[in-house]
């Protein structure tokens, strides 16, 4: 089991940029096509910008055309948590970092084979470790 990482809101504000805080801790969404990892093709591993938890391999990244970095599978099922999100008059599935609880984005059922999933992530919630 991974150890959970917990910080107070005040601690998170010191640890994160205001932009990353707004996404990770306040469930914000960066504007489409604004993020540094949307059009990004280096090989490596995307990790949580809040805690460094490994989340997605570049091997599962694809161009969804949505304007947000998109993946069809996390590195492992226990890297993330999901929960129902009924905000904005929609029913969506929110994706959170399993280690720090940070908001990462949402997952949809219109992704490519083999999973059919589209993990629609915010660049601001991610860091990148090159292979
Ligand atoms: Fe995290």
Ligand 1 center–CA 67 separation, angstroms: 22
pLDDT of residue 15: 97
Cα distances (angstroms) measured from residue 13 to each of 17, 40, 45, 80? 7, 27, 25, 22
C-alpha 65 to ligand 1 mean position (Å): 26
Residues near ligand 1 ion, CB 5 Å cutoff: 48, 50-51, 53, 97, 99-100, 102
Nearest to 68, CA basis, from 131, 130, 118: 118
CATH numbers and ranges of domains, the chain: 9-130 (2.170.150.20)
- Residue 9 contacts by C-beta under 8 Å, 6 or more apart in sequence? 25
Phi-psi region of 88 (alpha: psi -120 to 50; beta: other; left: phi over 0): left
For ligand 1, the distance from its centroid to the CA atom of residue 104, given in whole angstroms, is 9
Q: Is the pLDDT of residue 3 over 90?
A: no
Distance (Å, whole) CA 40 – CA 62: 10
Whole-model pTM above 0.85? Answer: yes
Which residue's entry shows tokens 């059919």?
116
CB-based contacts of 85: which residues, under 8 Å, 6+ apart? Answer: 91, 92, 93, 94, 106
Q: How far apart are CA 124 and CA 19, in angstroms?
A: 7
Is 72's pLDDT higher than 60?
yes
What percent of the chain has pLDDT above 90? Answer: 97
pLDDT category at 1 given cuts 50, 70, 90 is very low
The closest of 83, 115, 81, 82 to 98, measured between CA atoms, is 81
Q: Are 112 and 62 in contact (CB under 8 A)?
A: yes
Active site residues: 120
Q: How far is ligand 1, taken at its centre, from the CA of residue 50, in Å?
A: 5
Give me the mean pLDDT over the 22-46 stretch. 98
């Amino acid at each position: 089991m991974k150890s959970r990482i917990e910080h107070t809101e005040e601690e998170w504000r010191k640890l994160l940029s205001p932009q990353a805080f707004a996404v990770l801790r306040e469930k914000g969404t960066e504007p489409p096509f604004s993020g540094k990892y949307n059009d990004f093709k280096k090989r490596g591993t995307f990790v949580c910008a809040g805690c460094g938890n490994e989340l997605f391999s570049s091997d599962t990244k694809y161009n969804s055309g949505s304007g947000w970095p998109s993946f069809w599978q996390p590195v492992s099922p226990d890297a993330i948590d999901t929960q129902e999100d009924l905000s904005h008059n929609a029913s969506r599935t929110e994706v959170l970092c399993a280690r720090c609880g940070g908001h990462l984005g949402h997952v949809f059922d219109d992704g490519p084979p083999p999973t059919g999933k589209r993990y629609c992530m915010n660049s601001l919630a991610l860091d990148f470790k090159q292979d």
